[in-house]
Amino acid sequence: MPELPDLTVYLESLEARVAHRRLACIRLLNPFLLRTAVPPIASAEGKKVLALSRLGKRIVIELEGELYLVLHLMIAGRLRWLAAGAKPPGRITLALFEFDSGTLAMTEAGTKRRASLHLVAGRAALAAMDPGGVEVSAADPATFGTILKKENHTLKRALTDPRLFAGIGNAYSDEILHHARLSPVALTKDLAEDDVARLFVSTQEVLRYWASRLREETGAGFPEKVTAFREGMAVHGRYGKPCPICGAPVQRIVYAQNETNYCARCQTGGRILADRALSRLLKKSWPRSIDELG
């Protein structure tokens, strides 16, 4: 799923291409993408783009007349920019937003249709879609700490909860926790003040670093390779590979369709965290520490 750094660069690239331009036409190629009926989607056509913004992990295109197109890419959704007259990419294209400067294509890989498009009227309707998470870049340490400890969750769950923090998902939460040298399963209410302060700094630094890096990689182009697995990440998607800090093999916890990656030596005092499925299967053979792996 595209997260805050990816969405930041998407927005900057869109700003250069569609800001203050008229949306000539919307072509829906998959009827299940649009999740609203009122106002009708045709009412957005011919309207000028006034601003682009982000609402958690949603991209918001503000149009004249207090109309807002809200795009949620979910896990496999992506945006592509097509030059005028260019052919959209095959079956994966869900919608086309045509401007005189080119066409924005909304795509989704795979067969599960989770990406969504809403058209809402008025600021109140837009605000109702906000999960409520704070923007870490705009928060101070005290606010961050208060929100973090609002409920007693694991750090992984707290960072990825859109009601608490905006725009952070599975990938960058792994990177943040590794940078802060904190366990993904540590409970928020057990954290010392120094741990909270370190996590706050790491959250800001990691998100800022990756937004800057992706911006540099994109240049004047449009983001083409938006992925949760980036070359240069410390632990996310690097199971079994050496931690860039200590060299120990990166570990993982697999649950549902996600996995948490971490370094046992840097983050958990050498302890290998139980994987719900694999540790139950291996039982006594499950290694308790990184040193047992040899």
Domain at 43, CATH number: 3.20.190.10
Averaged confidence pLDDT in the chain: 92
State pLDDT tens for residues 114-159: 999 999 999 999 999 999 999 999 999 999 999 999 999 999 999 9
Tell me the pLDDT band of 90, cut-offs 50, 70 and 90: confident
Q: Is the pLDDT of residue 58 over 60?
A: yes
Structural domain ending residue among the three candidates 60, 95, 127: 127
Where on the phi/psi map is residue 161: left (φ > 0), alpha (ψ -120 to 50), or beta?
beta
Q: Is the pLDDT of residue 280 over 50?
A: no
Q: Which pLDDT score is estimated for 231? A: 93
Mean pLDDT of 109-116: 89
Q: Which pLDDT score is estimated for 289? A: 55
Residues 88 and 212 in one domain: no
Percentage of residues of the chain with pLDDT beyond 70: 93
State pLDDT tens for residues 237-259: 999 999 999 999 999 998 767 88
Residues 235 and 252 in one domain: yes
Domain tally, the chain: 2
Residues 78 and 178 in one domain: no
Q: Which pLDDT score is estimated for 285? A: 39
Tell me the pLDDT band of 183, cut-offs 50, 70 and 90: very high
Q: Which pLDDT score is estimated for 255? A: 79
Q: Which pLDDT score is estimated for 1? A: 83
Q: Which pLDDT score is estimated for 278? A: 44
Q: Which domain holds residue 21?
A: 4-127
State pLDDT tens for residues 159-177: 999 999 999 999 999 999 9
Residues 148 and 83 in one domain: no
Residues 289 and 150 in one domain: yes
Q: Is the pLDDT of residue 18 over 80?
A: yes
Give this prediction's pTM: 0.92
Q: Which pLDDT score is estimated for 277? A: 52
Q: Is the pLDDT of residue 205 over 60?
A: yes
Structural domain ending residue among the three candidates 95, 127, 159: 127
Higher pLDDT, 217 or 279: 217
Residues 19 and 49 in one domain: yes
Q: Is the pLDDT of residue 286 over 70?
A: no
Tell me the pLDDT band of 208, cut-offs 50, 70 and 90: very high
Mean pLDDT of 203-228: 96
Mean pLDDT of 188-202: 97
Q: Which pLDDT score is estimated for 94? A: 97
Domain at 249, CATH number: 1.10.8.50
Q: Which pLDDT score is estimated for 111? A: 80
C-alpha neighbours within 13 Å on the C-beta side of residue 248: 23
Structural domain ending residue among the three candidates 127, 157, 182: 127
